[in-house]
Amino acid sequence: KRNHDWISQGIRRRKMRKIQKMCAALLAGVMTVGTFAPSVFADEAAKELTDEQVINVRTTAFGNNYDVQDMGWRWMMAACYEGLYRDVADENGDEFILAGAESVDISDDGTVYTYHLREDAKWSDGVPVTAHDYEYGWKRLLNPDYAYDYASFIYNVVGAEEYNSGEGSADDVMAVAVDDYTFEVTLKVADPTFESKLVATPLYPTREDLAEAAGDNWGKDWTLCVYNGPFCMTDMVVDNKMVWTKNAEYWDAENVHLDTINWYIVAQESTAATMFENGELDQYQPTGDYAIKFEKEAEEGKYQYMVTDYPGTIGLRFNFINGGTSGLMSNVKIRKAISYSIDREEMIDAVYGRYNPAYSYVAPAITFNGSSYRSQVGEVIEDEYNEYVGDPDKIVALFQEGLDELGVETPIEDITLTYLTSGSTTEVQAEREYIQQSLEETLGLTVELSVAGDNSLFIADRNEGNYDFFLGGWYSDYNDPLDFLYTNYTDAYGMSFGGYSNTDYDALADQLVGETDMDKRLDIYKQMEQILLLDDCAFAPIYYATKQVLLQNWVKDYRTSSFGASAEFIWTYIDGKNQ
């Protein structure tokens, strides 16, 4: 039995997660497509707000990339800018709503999308937002001179991949302004994931006149930016404070109630917690012991506490490049023995104090065809995991079977595995110590920590194959299982996923091209996860990401988002702070 000093209040949190899981099953997030029709103030009298409409929030760092096509600073970009759609979540999950467009016509064969833009949409300098801004933004994304990472998002657009690869021209790309307020996109084949990608900032409009005039400074100097979203960035003190103010030119400014959002960099968790307790912060995302403390106080009514699923899954990636420094990672039984040596529930309680245990790859926040994907296909490895977890003898026997299959006669106690890691925060240190201790105590071998000094050194060691396993995962860019599953397609992401390759897995992914039958897509997704996790154990899922947000009781109608602005203040208002 493990004796971890950092385990505390685990039973209560475990019960809470089970309750949350039950609630999630009943209220599975549904991504719907509708019109942008906020109903914040059902009572007209509520519009007579007496509080100053200012909110103070904390972050740990500011970004330095203001180019929407570069997806650099998404949580800011999606609040100050707007695309054809906006993703705004409520208690029922993410809602996918038309924003920059008022309506869309889709051809019978699913290949032509015609967006009718809002004629009252303007940039913050008063210039109308037109279809030409969308055409320029999309073609800028594909321009090979800029080498944007997310250009592949729209490779299914006619002429897009050819232009991006240098084999075609911008004129051949069928994402065009038919007139000032009609934007037409023609796909090569029908794609049920296409609209899900349109909340991503790389597909937002961009002003050609300003971007071209700025040249190399575009995206680097925030003072050159104009905005078409509900807020504008109006001030920044580097490494200290950033200010957003209401965009008076925003087409729905009437329903944007905050006048000012002050972002403060507060590096120390203890300082942020104290500021929140003192009312100096109105919104705060706690971690570790602070999350436990404030959750209890929220239960007593002192604060509001939101916990939502977030589309990320973290776990162990194994070395498929060369079998790892131990030479053992080529065996699936050894990989499974490593995976099942880690008690998900215990690790979450011991290290994080948040998140949910993971037994699959695609996160619960992802929906498919109108309901939770996970609720439709279940948890892939949970049954097999439960057969092993907490039974060291059985796990050791599985590891030994793997050694026998490899013809390795070295006793387990003489084996050393290399765990590649980086970072120096308290949580990261506890994370790697927990994994190291779990494997050593369960399997009786040695786990050597290879701690890279920075991210570039980590990447260098990873790409060279100087490891057996590392902790990694995926945070999805759009709401479809494919965004998770495609990461394991051969050579799709290089060494980021351990060099995994499986021809059967790739063949299933290829079958999805042009497939519009949702039942068939669901079956293919399910088969891909089975291969990835059960047949190959190419990834050992440990936790599903969640988002914890504390709010003062005077903060009303705060929203979040899985694929847009992670902090969504579009309809937020302050009421009761001065009481």
Q: Reduce the DSSP state of residue 186 to 3 states and report it.
A: strand
CA-closest candidate to residue 505, choices 480, 477, 534, 473: 534
Q: Quote the CA–CA distance of 243 and 232 in Å, as a whole number.
A: 8
How far CA 191 is from CA of 286, 321, 380, in Å, comes to 39, 33, 26
pLDDT of residue 47: 59
Place of tokens 């004629």: 119
pLDDT of residue 308: 86
Give the model's confidence band at 307: pLDDT under 50 very low, under 70 low, under 90 confident, else very high. Answer: confident
Residue 342 has pLDDT above 60, yes or no: yes
Strands, DSSP E only, in 238-380? 241-246, 260-265, 283-284, 304-318, 356-357, 367-368, 371-372
pLDDT in tens, 188-235: 999 999 999 998 899 999 999 999 999 999 999 999 999 999 999 999
pLDDT in tens, 130-149: 999 999 999 999 999 999 99
* Contacts made by residues 454-457, CB under 8 angstroms, sequence distance 24+: 454/422, 455/422, 457/422
Give the model's confidence band at 24: pLDDT under 50 very low, under 70 low, under 90 confident, else very high. Answer: very low
Q: Per-residue pLDDT averaged across 272-290, rounded?
A: 91
Give the 3-state secondary structure of 501-513. CCHHHHHHHHHCC
Q: Per-residue pLDDT averaged across 544-570, rounded?
A: 90
25: how many CB neighbours lie within 10 A of its CB?
12
Q: Quote the CA–CA distance of 549 and 480 in Å, as a whole number.
A: 25
Phi, psi of 129 (to 5 degrees): -85, 120
Q: Quote the CA–CA distance of 441 and 447 in Å, as a whole number.
A: 10
Residue 463 has pLDDT above 80, yes or no: yes
Q: Per-residue pLDDT averaged across 17-32, rounded?
A: 38
- Read off the tokens for 233: 């960035």
Q: Quote the CA–CA distance of 555 and 283 in Å, as a whole number.
A: 8
pTM equals 0.87
Q: Quote the CA–CA distance of 398 and 393 in Å, as a whole number.
A: 9
Among 115-124, 153-162, 557-566, where is mean pLDDT lowest?
557-566
CA-closest candidate to residue 498, choices 322, 359, 321, 338: 321
Residue 37 has pLDDT above 60, yes or no: no
Residue 536 has pLDDT above 90, yes or no: yes
Q: Quote the CA–CA distance of 564 and 86 in Å, as a whole number.
A: 7
Kindly state the helix (H) or strand (E) to which residue 86 belongs, with its residue range: strand 85-90
Residue 341 has pLDDT above 60, yes or no: yes
Q: Per-residue pLDDT averaged across 540-563, rounded?
A: 93
Q: Per-residue pLDDT averaged across 343-369, rounded?
A: 94
Mean pLDDT (the chain, rounded)? 89
Residue 7 has pLDDT above 50, yes or no: no
Give the model's confidence band at 574: pLDDT under 50 very low, under 70 low, under 90 confident, else very high. Answer: very high
Residue 12 has pLDDT above 50, yes or no: no
pLDDT in tens, 44-103: 444 578 899 999 999 888 878 889 999 877 767 788 999 999 988 766 667 788 999 999
pLDDT in tens, 466-516: 999 999 999 998 999 999 999 999 998 888 889 999 999 999 999 999 999
pLDDT of residue 92: 66
How far CA 179 is from CA of 202, 208, 268, in Å, comes to 22, 16, 51
Instruction: Give the burial string for 103-140 (b: 16+ CB within 10 Å, else e).
Output: ebeeeeeebbbbbbbbeebbbbeeebbbbbbbbbbbbb
Phi, psi of 510 (to 5 degrees): -65, -30
Q: Per-residue pLDDT averaged across 266-273, rounded?
A: 91
46: how many CB neighbours lie within 10 A of its CB?
12
pLDDT of residue 91: 62
Burial class, 270, CB count within 10 angstroms (exposed 0-12 / middle 13-18 / buried 19+): exposed
Q: Quote the CA–CA distance of 271 and 273 in Å, as a whole number.
A: 5
Alpha helices per DSSP H over 408-533: 426-443, 455-464, 481-485, 503-511, 518-529
Phi-psi map region of 467: left, alpha, beta (phi>0 left; psi -120 to 50 alpha): beta
- The one-letter amino acid code at 466 reads N
Residue 22 has pLDDT above 50, yes or no: no
Q: Are the CB atoms for 402 and 332 separated by under 8 Å?
A: yes
Give the model's confidence band at 28: pLDDT under 50 very low, under 70 low, under 90 confident, else very high. Answer: very low
Phi, psi of 316 (to 5 degrees): -90, 135
Residue 40 has pLDDT above 90, yes or no: no
Q: Are the CB atoms for 515 and 334 separated by under 8 Å?
A: no
Among 29-38, 195-204, 389-398, 555-564, where is mean pLDDT lowest?
29-38
Q: Per-residue pLDDT averaged across 356-364, rounded?
A: 97
Instruction: Say which DSSP state 570 is in.
Output: T
Alpha helices per DSSP H over 58-143: 74-80, 131-142
Q: Are the CB atoms for 485 and 363 separated by under 8 Å?
A: no
Q: Quote the CA–CA distance of 488 and 493 in Å, as a whole number.
A: 8
pLDDT of residue 263: 94
